[in-house]
Amino acid sequence: MRTKNALRNTAFSLLLEVLLLIFGMIMPRLIILTYGSAVNGLTSAINQILSVLNLLQAGAVGASIFEMYKPVAEKDYQRISLIMDASKRYFFKLGLVFLGLVMAIAPLVAISKADAEIGKWEILISVIILGINGAYYFFILSWYDILFSSHQKRYILSIAGIIEKLIYYGLLFIVLKSGIHFMFMYVAVVCGSSIKVLYLYYIYKKNYAKYMMPVPKDNQYRIKNRGYLLWNQIATQAVESSPVILITALYDLKLVSVYAIYNLVQTA
């Protein structure tokens, strides 16, 4: 079973990466042709800012997954339920902090980057929409990540990711062809994430819900070593995000778009 799961994990993960590579090379060009470089730059800038804010959960998911390995192997469903409940509560708190930071940063980005092409309100709403999409991970997706990863079934997450991207890119293509306001691109992102959540919920209800045990409301279980991956993830994300964030702060969104395209080609 482990070998079978490992093969599935590898195959579906590779398929997802190929899908991201193909559409990642095609869609930015279509976005630029339809809405201009500034919109593509805005998207890249917002995504990198949100990636930095995601450092709130750095190391926490890995710690929870590690904590789950022993009870999963022993089929200790009571302890599994305690860990999952503790993780859910912890990530809910992080999600609230994440949303608070998004709401605080959104006006600053809007004021500093607004120009003749993109207005303040457009930038503000764009940051909020993508911020809400980012909050999905804290409030919902992190829980499924911990559950499926600890059972050595990350292929379920990869399948969910494939479905999400197909929905998103399909809707994005419709938005681009119809020429409606660029903010509908971000609505398409949220739609894709929502379908992903529904798929994961379906798999959970079908295969895992029956094993979950009742957990006391005053569950005091704490996940150990939540910070053991923290500094590694912070260092990695700092290296990846700092160029875009610095360019966003010092220059206009068109230059951010140019950098994002060249960086995409380099890392492909």
Share of the chain above pLDDT 90, in %: 54
pLDDT of residue 112: 84
**What's the whole-number average pLDDT of the chain?**
85
Do residues 103 and 48 make contact, with C-beta atoms less than 8 angstroms apart?
no
Measured in whole angstroms, the distance separating CA 113 from the mean position of its chain's CA atoms is 24
User: pTM, whole model, 2 decimals?
Assistant: 0.86
Q: What is the mean pLDDT of residues 247-252?
A: 62
If you ran DSSP here, which 8-state letter would residue 113 be given? Answer: H
pLDDT of residue 47: 87
Q: How confident is residue 7, by pLDDT bands cut at 50, 70 and 90?
A: very high
Q: How confident is residue 138, by pLDDT bands cut at 50, 70 and 90?
A: very high
Place of tokens 């607004």: 114
Q: What is the DSSP string of 61-84?
A: HHHHHHHHHHHHHHT-HHHHHHHH
pLDDT of residue 53: 82
Place of tokens 């809910």: 92
Do residues 252 and 12 make contact, with C-beta atoms less than 8 angstroms apart?
no
Do residues 44 and 257 make contact, with C-beta atoms less than 8 angstroms apart?
yes
Q: Which two tokens stand for residue 81?
A: 């339920």
Q: Which of these, 164, 236, 231, 220, lies nearest to 194 by C-alpha position?
A: 164
For residue range 88-105, list pLDDT tens digits in order.
998 999 899 999 999 999
Q: Is the pLDDT assigned to residue 246 strictly greater than 80? A: no
Q: Which of these, 145, 141, 146, lies nearest to 65 by C-alpha position?
A: 146
Q: How confident is residue 252, by pLDDT bands cut at 50, 70 and 90?
A: low
For residue range 158-217, list pLDDT tens digits in order.
999 999 999 999 999 999 999 899 999 999 999 999 999 999 999 999 999 998 888 888
